[in-house]
Amino acid sequence: MPAHDLSACPRRRGRSPFPALAAVAATVALTAATASPAAAEAREPAPASRAEIQRALDAMVAAGAPGVTARITDENGTWTATSGVADLDSGTPMPANGAFRPASVTKSLVATVVLQLEDEDALSLDDTLGELLPGTVPGGDGVTVNRLLNHTSGLPDYIEDPLFEDPEDYTRRGFTPEELVEIADRQDPSAEPGEFAYSNTNYVLLGMIVEELTGNTLGDELGDRVLRPAGMDRSYLPVRETGLPGEHASGYYRLAGRQDLTEATEIDPSFAWAAYGLVSTPEDVAGFYRALWDGDLLPAASLAKMREMVPGPNFFMSGYGLGLERMDLTCTSPEGHTGSIPGFSTFAFLTGDGDRQVTVSANAFLLDASATPMILAALDVLNLGLCGEPFTPPQAMEQAGPLAPA
């Protein structure tokens, strides 16, 4: 996914972070089956009941996720709900705030640091790779920081390389950022410069730029500039550390053509790094977006720039800003990010006014047919939490029949 976004998993270039949903969603638009987000947002729908959201979480588990956690903020305050188990062997219940890998949510944090550096005049969004990291990629003189941030660079995604087809082949070895970029450089461009095409390579390069300009590690800069100011006490960016700290669920994945889930809790995260390597908790992830929206991390002008969107491929990612995704639901178009990495899938969104927020974490990365019902159930959780009503798929999607992984 598109994080491993729902963001980074291997997929055809330019596709949504969730390949299962993208297989059909890329060809449809929201229709009469869903209300106009702008019109519906004006009616301020009542919050969904906890029982309705619990049923949607249970549906995610029934679809194949061992466990799932949701953190919801609405007019009634903030509360959490869980379903399923943290570990298939022990049957331990899913923790309400366990450590996990939120994958491409990392991009929102890295983009925040880049915009802070712009505010400090350490860089301009019009600076090019040729100026900042000369010789790193072919044609770097035509790739600006802004195009890296909103995925319009045209640079290929390193995860499209066959090396990244099976997590067993890449989660047990180490990579340097330079090696990831070299893998991408062997591929053809993903799109023409200026066209949207989701590429994790963009954020690896941004991480390299941050380190080049500051002289510090990206992890240290994230800690000083984002994690501590946002109160994200249990979050950090690992480089080669394989485990998850404190209370956490075990992570699992399943590839197409395989029946069993494979455990992937302790992995070498260097393949993800600045693109989708963060370790966090549901509370910390929600706290980050809250701090961002409240102006604690960026001035208003920079946040507005971050939220300026280029068109995305479908309703699931209808727009992409500077490290932020937009999704079209039945009453609103919330912003945040999805994420997927072997072991975990994440959906973290809030409304434009910040009044409602939903963060969903599942300890599953599914690339078989069960991904479709799990994703649709996750959309139901989001829609219930943000719109107060179940998610209604576009009619064109329903007419297309079952979704299958791309």
Catalytic residues: 104
Both tokens of 142, joined, read 């035509």
Q: What is the DSSP string of 232-268?
A: -TT-B--SS--S--SSBPPPEEEETT--S-EE-SS--
Q: Which residues contact 100 (CB under 8 A, 6 or more apart)?
A: 244, 248, 249, 251, 279, 280, 281, 282, 343, 344, 346, 361, 363
CA atoms within a 13 Å half-sphere pointing along the CA-CB vector of 113 = 27
Would you list the DSSP string of 331-388? S---EEEEEEETBEEEEEEE-TTSS-EEEEEESEEEESTTHHHHHHHHHHHHHHHHHS
Q: Which residues have C-beta within 8 Å of that of residue 1, sequence separation ≥ 6? A: 7, 8, 9, 11, 16, 17, 18, 19, 103, 104, 338, 339, 340, 345
CB neighbours of residue 163 within 10 Å = 15
CB 270 within 8 A of CB 176: yes
Please, which residues have CB within 8 angstroms of residue 82's CB and are 6 or more apart in sequence?
57, 67, 68, 69, 70, 93, 94, 95, 96
Residue whose tokens read 């080669």:
240
The three-state DSSP-derived secondary structure of 25-71 is: HCCCCCCCCCCCHHHHHCCCCCCCCHHHHHHHHHHHHHCCCCEEEEE
Task: Tell me how far the alpha carbon of residue 234 is from its chain's centroid.
Answer: 18
**End-to-end CA, the chain:** 11
- Check if the beta carbon of residue 46 is closer than 8 Å to that of residue 196: no
Beta strand 310-314 with 317-320 is antiparallel
Strand pairing class (364-367; 252-255): parallel
